[in-house]
Amino acid sequence: MKGKILVTGGAGYIGSHTAVELQNAGYEVVIIDNLSNSNAGVIDGIEKITGIRPVFVEMDVQDKEALRKVFEENKGIKGIINFAASKAVGESVQKPLLYYRNNLVTLLNLMDLMPEYGVEALVFSSSCTVYGQPDVLPVDEQAPIKPALSPYGNTKQICEEIIKDAVYSGVPYKSIILRYFNPVGAHPSAEIGELPLGVPQNLLPYVTQTAMGIRQELSVYGDDYDTPDGSCIRDYINIVDLAKAHVIAVNRMIAGQSKDNVEVFNLGTGRGVSVLELINTFEKATGVKVKYKIVGRREGDIEKVWANPAHANKELGWIAEESLEDTLASAWKWQQKLRERGIM
Ligand code: NAD
Ligand code: WQD
């Protein structure tokens, strides 16, 4: 065993896939989740894939005393990957205080306790949302941070600043900030995947639910953008590829290989894909038609963004490997599994 890693929000979409990759790499995983956007069945999925059941504590990371108890009962935690956060952009506009409280207090509590318990490494989930509409594409880590378009986006910017200020003040741990582009797909086993509550706000879950007949029709938000086919462009990154980057980040900090006390990496493929291209590729990869109509633009949407992942490629030795076709097929397999299980 390589040591214990605390994964907050580990029952969620990215956290569960990362827990699998950590266990595959020989780490002992302790998951904390309050199940506000996930369910405990995910822990079974992780166990089915890896043959190992991670420690799971159902609790709120905002509860500092409960958090302290987790450190007391799981001595020797070497690193933390903090996925616990609220992530719905639209909801954050309606309930800004909930978002600021949850996304900031969870991070502050963890950072408060890390020195006391000798935790060496912190990985933080940030987002390409910090770049807004970049002036230069593909966007690299040196690009300016743009004014946030939502309270959610602002929490990511503030959390990045909190980490930088604290680490440069001389705390005894290192941090890696990972800026995800658009994570999509599911584990190839279809034992875990993305399970949005209610009507999906993100593109791919809406696509798979439409293909399944759960939703009548997908609305494509705008075909009059300054892009080759007029629809918006994103960088869709496979979830297992993304999860693997977290293991590399943890390894790097624990092995003392960081080049700075805080490092920032883009996690994307480097390839921009339009909404219409994604629908086409999904249809080709699965043989299933997706009914869609073009509607007006969605307020606040970025026109086009994709990553320059060269820094992660070079420094982490990480590269997005899965094709978009296989990734979309994995999302469809997961959607079919949900139907088989009578979940959706
Ligand atoms: P998710 O909602 O599936 O996972 C987050 C998990 O954290 C959920 O299981 C939720 O129940 C839990 N949680 C939330 N608040 C908590 C709290 N106070 N205490 C304990 N558990 C709590 O989301 P995800 O897509 O897996 O995202 C993980 C992280 O990555 C988040 O920080 C998110 O902001 C960030 N991120 C996500 C995306 C994306 O498109 N999915 C993109 C960029 C960044
Ligand atoms: C992708 C594209 C839509 C739904 C959001 C957050 C961002 C980040 C990732 C966390 C866009 C179009 C979508 C639909 C559509 N999360 N679309 N019909 O907008 O890149 O970003 O998730 O940090 O902060 O804002 O992702 O999946 O919502 O949209 O046409 O029903 O699909 O307009 O062009 P987005 P998305």
pLDDT reported for residue 279: 98
Known active-site residue 152:
yes
In the chain, ranges of CATH 3.40.50.720 domains:
4-185+236-267
Cβ of 166 closer than 6 Å to ligand 1, yes or no, is no
pLDDT computed for residue 136 by the predictor = 98
What pLDDT, on the 0 to 100 scale, is given for residue 179?
99
The answer, yes or no, to whether any atom of ligand 2 lies below 6 A from the CB of 93, is no
Given ligand 1 and candidates 6, 43, 65, 87, which is best to mutate, with the most ligand atoms within 8 Å of its CB? 87
Which regions of the chain carry the CATH code 3.90.25.10?
A: 203-234+270-340
- What residue ranges of the chain have pLDDT lower than 70? none
Q: So what's the pLDDT on residue 344?
A: 84
What pLDDT score was predicted for residue 1?
75
Q: CA 337, CA 339: separation in Å to the nearest integer?
A: 5
**CATH code that applies to domain 4-185+236-267:** 3.40.50.720
Q: Ligand 2 in contact with 157 (CB < 6 A)? A: no
The single residue of 99, 131, 152, 236 carrying the catalytic annotation is: 152
Which residue, among 121, 150, 145, has the nearest Cα to 132 in the 3D structure? Answer: 145
The DSSP string of 233-267 is: EE-EEEHHHHHHHHHHHHHHHHTT--SSSEEEEEE
Q: What is the rounded CA–CA span in Å between residue 148 and residue 163?
A: 18
Q: What is the pTM of this model?
A: 0.98
Beta bridge partners of 295: 221
Res 8: pLDDT: 99
Only one residue has tokens 């978002």, namely: 99
Can you spell out the DSSP letters for 114-130?
TTTTT--EEEEEEEGGG
Tokens of 74: 């799981």
The yes or no reply on domain 203-234+270-340 and CATH 3.90.25.10 is yes
Calculate how far, in angstroms, residue 89's C-alpha sits from the geometric centre of ligand 2. 9
What is the whole-number distance in angstroms between the Cα of residue 204 and the centre of ligand 2? 9
Q: Name 121's Cβ contacts closer than 8 Å, sequence gap at least 6.
A: 78, 79, 80, 173, 174, 175, 176, 249, 250, 253, 254
Provide the 10 A C-beta neighbour count for residue 296. Answer: 10
Q: Which atom of ligand 2 is nearest to the CA of 278?
A: 32
Decide: 178 and 267 in contact? Cβ < 8 Å: yes
Quote the CA–CA distance of 330 and 121 in Å, as a whole number. Answer: 31
- Tell whether ligand 1 has an atom less than 6 A from the beta carbon of residue 274: no
